[in-house]
Amino acid sequence: MRRGRVLTLALTLTLALTGCGESSKYYPSSKEDGVFFSVPKSWTELPTAALNKHEKQSEDENVGSRQKLVRWQIAYSTDPNFKVSEVFNLIAPSQPLVFARVRDLSNTEINEYSYNSLRDAIVPITKIVAGEVSGTPDFEILRDREFVQEGARGVETNYRFSFEGVKQTFNQISLMSNDRSSLYLFVVRCESECFKKNKKEIKEIISSYTVQGAK
């Protein structure tokens, strides 16, 4: 009788622990592109379709031409009411925001893309550092290193600056596929105080980012 109780208790604990592990994370991925990461299930998702729709409505020709090259993109935030527009502007979100994208590189980009091009995927970092761009107060690079994965390589740049009077921190991973045909972009950002406050959770998300490449 006692043995039966022990077995029942062990089974109950196993199921409880397994269930907890399975339910705690989302694992966004693009199997075709061999990329995935994890975020807590408490975060809110904006799917590829919503992001694509917003970009297609842009009047900027450069945005439109790049959007046609997008194969997959997705965004998450701890803010349950965050909007698509927040993903594509530089206003500092007050809560952590994650954005992942995979897109084809144009023929020109395939021939010309360098590590500096990857750094400049969102903000013209290299031009700011060179003093060629003004209007970006308090710009500071916190870390910049080569980032190598099985299916791609590039740079991880951690930087911060003020925009409209609010300082925000970015952690940006920009990679080019081994055959130089694709751009993998992964960004986590929010107000600098928010970034500091959520540093542990943000670090776990960044560490989960994996690019195996198209098979």
Where in the chain are the domains? 25-211
- Cα distance between the two ends of the chain: 54
Class of the 25-211 domain? alpha beta
What integer pLDDT is reported at residue 187 of this predicted model?
98
* Token pair recorded at residue 125: 């970092």
Helix runs in 37-158, H state only: 48-56, 61-67, 84-87, 107-112, 115-119, 125-129
pLDDT tens sequence across 118-169:
999 999 999 999 999 877 889 999 999 999 999 999 999 999 999 999 999 9
